[in-house]
A and B are shown apart, each in its own frame.
Chain A
Amino acid sequence: MRREGSPFQGVGAVAVKELTDNLSSARMFVLEWLIVLTALAALYSAIDSLRRTTAQDPFLLLRLFTVNHAPLPSFVAILGFLIPLMAIGLGFDAINGEHNRRTLSRILAQPIYRDALLIGKFLAGLVTLAMSLAALWLMVVGLGLIFLGVPPGGEEIARSLAFLVIAVFYAGVWLALAMLLSIVFRSSATAALVALGIWLFLTILWPMLAPAIAQMIAPPDPRYALLGLETPDTAMWAQMLSRISPNHLFSEAMVGVLSPTTRTLGPVFLEQLRGAVMGAPLPLGQSLIIVWPQTVGLIAGTIVLFVIGYVAFQRQEVRA
């Protein structure tokens, strides 16, 4: 059976309204300042340590993103940790909030499909996140210009733009997850709590659990251990398991894009490195090929989570 009319009718109206709400909400204000201040602290310490090495580094702007100066982690690591928080903050009450305010049935009685409401809200959230990230990106570039005094090259800008795009998809995964939970759980507080639980599990616990589980699946070979090497099987398993976490995919992609010397993200055999000029930067295209699987993983995660939420929402009862 086919439905009549376009599922996209009303998407624009919903997206504009939600975007206005997002940008003017107190919640967004708090989250943005949290991120801006933490990022500023990271940048400040990065700039501090970079000033001393300005002359030697051909990719100064990119170093701003990745250099960490104890005790602060790098700018990118902070983003990897905080972007999910921002996305969860935007999405955790997307649908159940409408239920609880009793606006859902009134909105759905207008000539739109449920698709429009869900897609509109998702787009508005993604645009909000993209705008915040773009602002952060401009801030980094601007501060780099002011304090380092070295204009960035074209490739540096291109690489940092790739960072921006991947970061938006990373945010998309978490936004889709938060919205899925807002559909599944009728209470906003439960949805928020579950989302935060998943976030903490994947960013803090999973990196510790993944190697442990890998060792159970493929016990380390004592012969490698004697040589002080990791067992290849165990390392492979550990990496595969870590990649379940979008946080890990994001940080791998960031390493590939922002550190041009990165040649591989997994273990390699020595013979694969024959003829390679160690320490020489790769061209942008090659770096993008390296991080392509991670990027696709993030995009696919966004789509899969959104689709699960979509199906759940289509079947949901609208009455309160």
Chain B
Amino acid sequence: MTETENDIVIAARDLTRRYGEVSVVDCVTFDIAKGETFGLLGPNGAGKTTTILMMLGLTEISGGTIRVLGSDPARAPLRVKRRVGYLPDSVGFYDHLTAVENLAYTSKLMGLRPAERARRITAALARVRLSDVADKRVATFSRGMRQRLGLAEIIVKQAEIAILDEPTSGLDPQSTIEFLGLIGELKAEGVTVLLSSHMLDQVQRVCNRVALFQSGRIVLMGAVADLARQVLGAGFVVEVEADGNGLDRRLAAIPGVTGVETLAADRFRMTADRDVRPDAARAVVAANGSLRRLSVDEPSLEAIYARYFQSRSGETQGARHAA
């Protein structure tokens, strides 16, 4: 990825946050380029939210530096917060106010003029498909609607960077898909999106690059495909559904295949460093089998994640093997 200095909107260098002796965020370094969708991954308590709060100047920085849009959020928080939108983890609204009133309050805090406020709020509610409940009290809103209202707030702000903390946790699948679609729209407009989540497949669907947090440190960072090569050692996962004698051995014999996993009597998952589908088809035919399905998976973040932590716990603890 080629990044010039001007393209970088968030730059963290050895960013650290300590509570007493405990480092919640420990010497974290990363750059986020303009227009990128960056995922912060990791288990709960790994330091994702603290990192986000430091970007907004909402918590003290114990060490290192962070620049957001060229400003230091600890010194010039207003300048940063004027251009950055934040959707907190399980966002709350004033239940006794309507959707429009809630947005009107925050847009007043943003310092927008009344006419501009009304225009932007109407447009934003339309974009997140909340126009028909605009004048309903937020108390009646479902969790998915609240999340969308939170996103509407970022749209009203016309933020250059949208920071979303666990935006899809607790949403039903339908709402999740809708919400990811809205994030896609933001991305298409050139908004830099920073997403924290532990829902790996969703992150993979929308993010260009991810950073994997573990106990306050970034342990892996890069594009998903690169990480797959790094951790899984192979770029392609091919699934074969077919029957035939000794198919697993034949598949394993294909050049470039690094492993074959038998999922069921007639289903196999192969990992390979190239697209081995033609060879797999040939192998099935050679075994007189009938080929029912042949698919190639993008390497999944979940597999990377699981494999990474498995190998780590194997290294450090040996006996205690995480299943």
List chain A residues, Cβ under 8 A from B59.
317-319
Structural contact, A102 and B56, CB atoms closer than 8 A: no
**Closest residue on chain A to residue B58 by CB atoms:** A318
Identify the stretch in B83-91, B180-188, B232-240, B286-294 within 8 Å (CB) of chain A at 4 or more residues.
Answer: B83-91
Q: Say yes or no for A113: interface residue by CB 8 A criterion.
A: yes
Structural contact, B110 and A110, CB atoms closer than 8 A: yes
Q: Say yes or no for A223: interface residue by CB 8 A criterion.
A: no
Q: What is the 8 Å Cβ interface bit string for chain B, positions 61-82, against chain A (1 contact, 0 not)?
A: 0000000000000111111011
Contacts A5-B78, A108-B58, A319-B53 hold; do A13 and B86 have CB atoms under 8 A apart? no
Q: How far is the CA of A105 from the CA of B166 in the complex (A)?
A: 14
Structural contact, A9 and B91, CB atoms closer than 8 A: no
Structural contact, A101 and B76, CB atoms closer than 8 A: no
List chain A residues, Cβ under 8 A from B26.
none
Q: How large is the interface on B (under 10, 10 to 19, 20 to 34, 35 or more residues)?
A: 35 or more
Q: Say yes or no for A111: interface residue by CB 8 A criterion.
A: yes
List chain A residues, Cβ under 8 A from B108.
10, 13, 17
Q: Say yes or no for A70: interface residue by CB 8 A criterion.
A: no
Contacts A111-B81, A318-B53, A318-B58 hold; do A105 and B109 have CB atoms under 8 A apart? no
Contacts A4-B76, A10-B109 hold; do A109 and B81 have CB atoms under 8 A apart? yes
Structural contact, A111 and B78, CB atoms closer than 8 A: yes
Structural contact, B81 and A110, CB atoms closer than 8 A: yes
Q: Say yes or no for B318: interface residue by CB 8 A criterion.
A: no
Q: Say yes or no for A14: interface residue by CB 8 A criterion.
A: yes
Residue from the list A3, A9, A105, A111 in contact with B88, Cβ < 8 A: A105
List chain A residues, Cβ under 8 A from B88.
102, 105-106, 109
Residue from the list A4, A103, A112, A116 in contact with B75, Cβ < 8 A: A4
Structural contact, A102 and B109, CB atoms closer than 8 A: no
Q: Say yes or no for A107: interface residue by CB 8 A criterion.
A: yes
Q: How far is the CA of A116 from the CA of B106 in the complex (A)?
A: 13
A-B pairs under 8 A by CB, number:
91
List chain A residues, Cβ under 8 A from B105.
13, 17
List chain A residues, Cβ under 8 A from B94.
21, 101, 103
Q: How far is the CA of A17 from the CA of B84 in the complex (A)?
A: 23
List chain A residues, Cβ under 8 A from B50.
319
Q: How far is the CA of A17 from the CA of B103 in the complex (A)?
A: 12
Q: Say yes or no for B201: interface residue by CB 8 A criterion.
A: no
Q: Say yes or no for A37: interface residue by CB 8 A criterion.
A: no
Residue from the list A3, A4, A106 in contact with B150, Cβ < 8 A: A106
Q: Say yes or no for B95: interface residue by CB 8 A criterion.
A: yes
**Closest residue on chain A to residue B157 by CB atoms:** A110
Structural contact, B111 and A111, CB atoms closer than 8 A: yes
Q: How far is the CA of A10 from the CA of B59 in the complex (A)?
A: 20
Structural contact, B86 and A109, CB atoms closer than 8 A: yes
Contacts A102-B91, A110-B110 hold; do A5 and B53 have CB atoms under 8 A apart? no
Q: Say yes or no for B141: interface residue by CB 8 A criterion.
A: no
List chain B residues, Cβ under 8 A from A106.
86-88, 91-93, 106, 150, 153
Q: Say yes or no for A1: interface residue by CB 8 A criterion.
A: yes
Q: Say yes or no for B49: interface residue by CB 8 A criterion.
A: yes
Structural contact, A110 and B106, CB atoms closer than 8 A: yes
Contacts A105-B58, A110-B81 hold; do A13 and B95 have CB atoms under 8 A apart? no
Distance of A39 from chain B, by nearest CB (Å): 29
Among B56, B81, B90, B91, the most chain A Cβ lie within 10 Å of the Cβ of B81
Q: How far is the CA of A2 from the CA of B91 in the complex (A)?
A: 31
List chain B residues, Cβ under 8 A from A17.
105, 108
List chain A residues, Cβ under 8 A from B91.
102, 106
Contacts A102-B88, A102-B91 hold; do A109 and B56 have CB atoms under 8 A apart? yes
Residue from the list B58, B76, B86 in contact with A5, Cβ < 8 A: B76
Q: What is the 8 Å Cβ interface bit string for chain B, positions 34-57, against chain A (1 contact, 0 not)?
A: 000000000000000110010010
Structural contact, A107 and B106, CB atoms closer than 8 A: yes
Q: How far is the CA of A1 from the CA of B76 in the complex (A)?
A: 11
Among B50, B76, B105, the most chain A Cβ lie within 10 Å of the Cβ of B105
Structural contact, B109 and A111, CB atoms closer than 8 A: yes
Contacts A103-B94, A105-B58 hold; do A13 and B109 have CB atoms under 8 A apart? yes
Pick the 5 closest A-B CB pairs, nearest first: A102-B92, A109-B86, A13-B108, A5-B78, A110-B109
A-B contact pairs, 17 of them (CB 8 A): A1-B74, A2-B75, A3-B76, A5-B79, A10-B108, A10-B111, A13-B108, A102-B90, A106-B91, A106-B92, A106-B150, A107-B106, A108-B58, A109-B58, A109-B86, A111-B81, A116-B109
Kindly list 8 other residue pairs between chains A and B, CB separation below 8 angstroms, not including A13-B105, A317-B59: A17-B108, A102-B90, A106-B92, A106-B106, A109-B88, A110-B81, A111-B111, A319-B50
